[in-house]
């Protein structure tokens, strides 16, 4: 089976070069490589243009502004000529049997992930191996890595678990059936968690192949630059050290914005089990009826509901909030923020005095979907500072399966 590697890249030339070389060394399958340059200025596009072969598909965002990998992933799938594709990062190194060991589990309605091996730049987890074979391409310990992978392939032969993360592959038809990635999360951050939720709700099987491996140098480009600055060394329970790298200012700013978009869309935090299998709580139509809500509290509360009704100082705080926040969101804030005396049409209304909010009841707001689900019935009840009135318990998360904004 022929497969397309979809690889966006922005100013990651040396990582991209190593990724492409590793793909050329794959065994057991034919492949195309779709390279998408996001207005790089480090020579990436010049190098991509120099590549020869019908299996190389080239695309460039001329810029000057980046569009981000959320958009470029979908452009890459659109340009691909194969039934099957894999989302691949420019800072990944594939192994000889990575693709054959993925494809042996693939069928329609399945998205399958390889197993990542990463240096200690992120916390460990049961879905990956934390082993340092180099932080930069020039220090990559190829022979040791390939020897260890051969051993792991034998130990884990044919094993699968449930879960999903990059690099993952699936049929192009299945990807397009749910509308691809949501540009709400462009240029980056949480587009993967969003599409994984939607795959899960669509009934796709989400599988990890435990004998298919890539080495992931982790989060180059927007998050970590060449020559990582270590922010802290954190001891782990097994006696090893997690080297916490310093996030770039660009990454931190985008992350904050996109988490607020996530809360507006899904009404919950990003949730998954230990193997990164998505957990999707119900999405309810919730209105907050709020007393004593100043500007800082409005900033916290607004993303967590469908509508927020303010009793005090509406004309003083709302125009300032909308002026500041509207350029950062695709949601219409004038439709989301209403005066207290406006007709309240939400199926669930939660009334409270914002001046009484503290860390404990902040957490109640974050867990509202689960709390309402567990309440189990229409009616009213008190919880901490909140009066919760449930007229209907319709769930709307399945309305989010198909992204129709692209």
> Mind giving me the DSSP string for 339-359?
ETTS----SEEEEEEGGG--H
Instruction: Find out whether 236 and 31 touch, Cβ atoms under 8 Å.
Output: no
Q: Specify whether 94 is located in the same domain as 193.
A: yes
In a domain, 277, yes or no: no
103-150 per-position pLDDT tens digit: 999 999 999 999 999 998 888 899 999 999 998 999 999 999 999 999
Q: Specify whether 203 is located in the same domain as 257.
A: yes
Whether the predicted pLDDT of 291 surpasses 90: yes
Q: What is the pLDDT of residue 156?
A: 97
Provide the 10 A C-beta neighbour count for residue 238.
Answer: 7
The residue among 231, 266, 301 that closes a domain is: 266
- Of 276, 269, 149, residue with least CA distance to 215: 149
Q: How far apart are the first and last CA of the chain?
A: 29
pLDDT (mean) for 357-374: 93
254-288 per-position pLDDT tens digit: 999 999 999 999 999 999 999 999 999 999 999 99
| Full-model pTM | 0.95
In a domain, 110, yes or no: yes
Instruction: Find out whether 97 and 246 touch, Cβ atoms under 8 Å.
Output: no
> Mind giving me the DSSP string for 253-271?
HHHHHHHHHHHHHHSS---
Determine the structural domain holding residue 160 and report its residue range. Answer: 3-266
Q: Specify whether 234 is located in the same domain as 302.
A: no
Instruction: Find out whether 191 and 70 touch, Cβ atoms under 8 Å.
Output: yes
Measure the CA dihedral 283/257/187/24, to 10°: -80
> Mind giving me the DSSP string for 80-120?
--SSEEEE--TTEEE-TTHHHHHHTT--TTEEEEEEEEE-T
Q: Specify whether 144 is located in the same domain as 52.
A: yes
Whether the predicted pLDDT of 8 surpasses 60: yes
Q: Specify whether 258 is located in the same domain as 162.
A: yes
Enumerate the β-bridge partners of residue 3: 31, 84
Q: Specify whether 203 is located in the same domain as 80.
A: yes
- Rounded Cα gap, residues 88 and 204, in angstroms: 20
Enumerate the β-bridge partners of residue 383: 386
Q: Specify whether 100 is located in the same domain as 147.
A: yes
Helix axes 191-201, 249-266, angle to 10 degrees: 30
Residues 6+ apart with CB under 8 A from 243: 120, 121, 230, 232, 233, 234
Q: Is 92 exposed, middle or buried (0-12, 13-18, 19+ CB in 10 A)?
A: buried
Confidence category of residue 226, pLDDT binned at 50, 70, 90: confident
Q: Specify whether 164 is located in the same domain as 258.
A: yes
The residue among 218, 235, 266 that closes a domain is: 266
Token output for 260: 């607020």
Q: How many Cα atoms occupy the beta-carbon half-sphere of 111 within 13 Å?
A: 29
Q: What is the pLDDT of residue 12?
A: 93
Q: Specify whether 320 is located in the same domain as 376.
A: yes
CA angle centred on 141, ends 251 and 22, rounded to 5°: 70
Residues 6+ apart with CB under 8 A from 358: none
Q: What is the pLDDT of residue 138?
A: 92
DSSP annotation of 28 reads: S
The residue among 234, 266, 298 that closes a domain is: 266
In a domain, 280, yes or no: no
Domain of residue 143, CATH code: 3.90.550.10
206-223 per-position pLDDT tens digit: 999 999 999 999 877 778
- Rounded Cα gap, residues 47 and 136, in angstroms: 19
In a domain, 276, yes or no: no
> What total of structural domains would you count in the chain?
2
48-87 per-position pLDDT tens digit: 999 999 999 999 999 999 999 999 999 999 999 999 999 9
Instruction: Please give the mean pLDDT across all residues of the chain.
Output: 94
In a domain, 162, yes or no: yes
In a domain, 62, yes or no: yes
> Mind giving me the DSSP string for 317-346?
HHHHHHHHHGGG-SS-HHHHEEETTS----
Q: Which helix (H) or strand (E) holds 366?
A: helix 359-366
Q: Specify whether 95 is located in the same domain as 217.
A: yes
Q: Specify whether 321 is located in the same domain as 386.
A: yes
In a domain, 281, yes or no: no
Q: Specify whether 254 is located in the same domain as 349.
A: no
């Amino acid at each position: 089976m022929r497969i397309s590697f979809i690889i966006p890249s922005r100013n990651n030339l040396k990582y991209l070069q190593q990724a492409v070389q590793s793909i050329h060394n794959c065994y057991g399958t034919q492949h195309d490589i779709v390279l998408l340059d996001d207005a790089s200025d480090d020579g990436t596009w010049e190098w991509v243009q120099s590549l020869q072969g019908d299996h190389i598909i080239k695309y460039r965002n001329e810029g000057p502004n980046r569009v981000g990998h959320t958009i470029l992933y979908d452009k890459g799938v659109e340009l691909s000529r194969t039934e099957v594709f894999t989302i691949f990062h420019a800072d990944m190194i594939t192994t000889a049997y990575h693709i054959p060991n993925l494809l042996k589990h693939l069928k329609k309605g399945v998205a399958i992930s390889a197993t990542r091996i990463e240096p200690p730049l992120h916390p460990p987890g049961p879905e990956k191996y934390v082993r340092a074979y180099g932080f930069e391409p020039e220090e990559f310990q190829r022979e040791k890595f390939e020897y260890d992978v051969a051993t792991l392939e034998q130990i884990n032969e044919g094993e699968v678990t449930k879960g999903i993360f990059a690099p993952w592959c699936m049929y192009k038809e299945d990807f397009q059936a749910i509308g691809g990635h949501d540009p709400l999360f462009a240029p980056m951050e949480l587009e993967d968690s969003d599409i994984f939720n939607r795959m899960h709700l669509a009934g796709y099987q989400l599988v990890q192949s435990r004998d298919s491996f890539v080495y992931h140098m982790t989060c180059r480009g927007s998050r970590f630059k060449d020559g990582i600055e270590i922010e802290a060394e954190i001891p782990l329970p097994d006696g090893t050290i997690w080297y916490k790298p310093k996030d770039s200012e660009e990454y931190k700013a985008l992350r904050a914005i996109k988490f607020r978009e996530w809360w507006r869309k899904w009404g919950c935090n990003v949730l998954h089990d230990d193997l990164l299998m998505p957990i999707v709580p119900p999405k309810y139509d919730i209105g907050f009826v709020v007393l004593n809500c100043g500007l800082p509290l409005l900033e916290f509360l607004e993303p967590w509901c469908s509508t927020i009704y303010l009793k005090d100082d509406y004309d003083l705080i709302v125009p300032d909030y909308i002026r500041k926040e509207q350029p950062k969101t695709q949601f219409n804030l004038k439709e989301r923020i209403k005066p207290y005396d406006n007709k309240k049409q939400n199926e669930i209304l939660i009334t409270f005095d914002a001046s009484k909010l503290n860390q404990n009841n902040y957490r109640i707001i974050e867990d509202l979907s689960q709390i309402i689900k567990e309440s189990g019935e229409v009616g009213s009840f008190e919880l901490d500072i909140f009066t919760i009135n449930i007229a209907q318990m319709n769930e709307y998360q399945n309305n989010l399966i198909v992204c129709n904004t692209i």
